[in-house]
Amino acid sequence: MPDGACPRSGDRRGLHDGGQAARADRPANSLLAEAVAATESLPPGVVNILTEAGNEVAPSLVESVDVDVLSYTGSTHVGRLIAAAAAPTLKRLNLELGGKTPLIVFEDADLDAVVPQLVTASILMNGQFCCTGSRVLVQRGIADELRTRLAAALEAVTVGPAEAPSTQLGPLIDRAAVARVDSIVEEATSYAKVIVRGGPVTDPALAGGAFFRPALLEVERLDVPLVQQEVFGPVQTFEIFEDEADAIQRANATDFGLAAALYTHDDFRARRVGRELRFGGIWVNTWGPMSEHFEQGGFKQSGIGVLCGPSAIAEFQNIKTYATAVPPQH
């Protein structure tokens, strides 16, 4: 499929020799392959791992009549292509797609606790995460204070090689991604107020890398690209709301509905607002907790089906009903 994305699949042949096949060139998933191969309770062929740089194999999996269910995590664009290609075989799909996570901060929130979480939500996985906290929605009464504190915290983020102990924000996937994200931010300066420009790192020590400093831009309109489109980089919008109704309206104003977070000491408010948010996952006074026990899925253009939890298992099962007539009594 385009964008280098493909459903999860692979090849485990030759890995019961202690993982020697995986060690030959040690691809990125070789450690997982070796762990699978060493699991004696998994017969050969039950788990297969395949990695491809292009899109030669993935379409065949989507179109094959021998594949009953596909689980895909990636962009909404590729998710739509998979859905279209799978339609002729009526294949069941589990699609976990893009997101535009709002982080809603009410006036009674503890900013000492909130600010570090807003930063983490922007830079974890270098902003290349479907649940990246890309929208900061703040109630007007604390907007000035939060703007100042968040800007200072983002400017203080340490950017560097992923293996360096002091690094908080590593590189984007490649330099083309840096150029793409930078162009999005540059275009946004025509309709947004720049709080922290961020951008490509110019430090000579990091020259040649794909490093991008976090950006924060204040917007009012909801129909602009920076609000409506997934950036997939450490870029946040700063948006001011008046009350609960305004916060809900702003948060729901995109086609995405994967995850949202809200910060308040009022549990009743959290429940009221949470009920109205059209997102598959709601975090209260935190951001990002995930578990194999949590059923995770998106609303709207963020996908169909769920990952993890009991419901996720059901998506890979067929339901068969037996109806037996009672034999006549003689």
37 or 240: which leads in pLDDT: 240
Q: What is the pLDDT of residues 266-289, one digit of tens each?
A: 999 999 999 999 999 999 999 999
Whole-angstrom distance, CA of residue 237 vs CA of residue 195 = 9
Which SS3 state, helix, strand or coil, does residue 3 take?
Answer: helix
The two three-digit tokens of residue 139, written as one number: 């109630």
Pairing state of beta strands 259-263 and 102-105? parallel
Cα 188 → chain centroid: 22
pLDDT category, 154, cuts 50, 70, 90?
very high
Pairing state of beta strands 199-200 and 212-213? antiparallel
Determine if residue 310 is left, alpha or beta; phi over 0 gives left, psi from -120 to 50 gives alpha, anything else beta.
alpha
Question: What is the greatest pairwise CA distance in the chain?
Answer: 94
Backbone angles phi, psi at 265, to 5 degrees: -90, -5
Residues 26, 34 contacting (CB under 8 angstroms)? no
pLDDT at 24 over 50: no
pLDDT at 71 over 90: yes
Residues 285, 329 contacting (CB under 8 angstroms)? no
Q: What is the pLDDT of residues 208-241, one digit of tens each?
A: 899 999 999 999 999 999 999 999 999 999 999 9
**pTM of structure:** 0.86
pLDDT at 19 (0 to 100): 34
Q: What is the DSSP string of 15-58?
A: -TTTSHHHHHH--TTHHHHHHHHT-TTS-TTSS-----SSSSSH
How far the first Cα of the chain sits from its last, in Å, is 63
Whole-angstrom distance, CA of residue 125 vs CA of residue 169 = 8
